[in-house]
Amino acid sequence: MSRARKIGYFTAWSIYDRNYFPADVPVERLTHINYGFAKLEGNKIQLGDTWADVDKPYSSTAYGEGDVKGNFGEFNNNNSPVRRHNPALRSLISIGGWTWSGGFSAMAASQHSRAEFVRSVGDFLQRYKFDGIDIDWEHPVEGGMDGNPHSPNDGRNYLQLLHELRNHLNSLQQHQPPRFGRYEITIATSAAPSVYRHLDLAAIAQVVDHINIMTYDYAGSWSAVTGHQQNLFRPSAGDSGINGNDTASDYINRGVPAHKVVLGLGFYGRGFSNVNHHASAYPGLPGLGCAFSGVPAGTWEAGSFDYKALRKNHLLPGSNYTSYWDDAAKAPILYSASDRVLISYEDAVAVSWKADYVLKRGLGGIMIWEMSQDHEGELMAKICEYLG
């Protein structure tokens, strides 16, 4: 039986239009749930969505004295229906993300502000019964959302922050042991060498429990040509210069133990519009590596398609989309010659290759962004065929 981690992100906004709730998560198939997102305000961790996080009552749940409501309660209360399905599930609060990473640089820059943050994290974990924290700073030094502050010292300050956080949580768990005896600390990092080059990955790996690498979004609206958005190996065409194997290898070469490298996997696809497949040099992969203009309407945002939406609308008999397999990249594409749309996505075969890769290389596991996008648990089930 594999000991690899199976980490799924659950997003607070899933309970609204997506109609996806904690009880819908196949927690029996996960080792960890990462709850996104908390935010950083005034150097302290704060709730991201108070109603979803701690206020929403669930009719199927019997709340005891001191129990938290909302999604936090569903994942963290010891007697919640969700936790009864998997008492060994570890829940981590994820802070930051693409939208809420703007405050990290200033917070990490001084001992005083770091100490304020670290204390607030300890209080947060104890109050809401989380088993650890996942820091999703996108990104130190460069990258991330336009307008986010950066400093050349971000990488060094980040390492110091993690050390101070580890020391504080170690102190807390000695006096008030958490559910599993130890608070976990993880981070989410980029797959782009231009971004993660600013981090002392070997030193960070000595502090954190594992590193979740966002090995997806290699191609999209920002690209010059169409390409795979989360290929495992170098593709036949449309090479973005990044792939899962090269990224995992580089992290290991930079000093991260293989068992702390967690490969990210997206349960979604990226689309490209106005693609001329006749320009492709690869007849078996029409539209791949070709110029495009714009992106198609997606499931919730332009150009992005939930896997379950693709299964319902694009991967059915009679659809004008055809699936093609890039055996070099170990990744599929969908292409419609009539619509001139190409979609790079993840299917059960691609997921199988990645899970097998994790096993063969002795990696720490797979991280999934995000759980609401699966189709009837199909991709998650395939992962479990390999990782248990």
Mean pLDDT of 151-165: 98
24 secondary structure, DSSP code: G
pLDDT at 64: 87
Q: Which CATH number applies to 5-266+346-387: 3.40.50.2300, 3.40.640.10, 3.20.20.80, 3.30.565.10? A: 3.20.20.80
Helix, strand, coil percentages (3-state) for the chain, rounded to 5, are 35, 20, 45
Mean pLDDT of 119-134: 98
Mean pLDDT of 65-74: 94
- pLDDT tens digit string along 194-232? 999 999 999 999 999 999 999 999 999 999 999 999 999
Per-residue pLDDT for 281 more than 70? no
- pLDDT tens digit string along 4-33? 999 999 999 999 999 999 999 999 999 999
Annotated active-site residue 138? The verdict is yes
Write down the mean pLDDT value for the chain: 96
Which two three-digit tokens encode residue 340? Answer: 């001139």
Which two three-digit tokens encode residue 19? Answer: 């109609």
Contact between 262 and 210 under an 8 Å Cβ cutoff? The reply is yes
* Helix runs in 226-298, H state only: 244-253
Q: Coil, helix or strand for 130?
A: coil
- pLDDT tens digit string along 327-386? 999 999 999 999 999 999 999 999 999 999 999 999 999 999 999 999 999 999 999 999
pLDDT at 1: 46
Determine what percent of the chain is predicted with pLDDT higher than 70: 99
Q: For residue 332, which of 213, 249, 262, 227 has the smallest C-alpha distance?
A: 227
Domain boundaries, the chain: 5-266+346-387
Other residues' Cβ atoms within 10 Å of the Cβ of residue 323: 16
Per-residue pLDDT for 282 more than 80? no
Structure pTM?
A: 0.96
Exactly one of 138, 184, 346, 370 is catalytic; which is it? Answer: 138
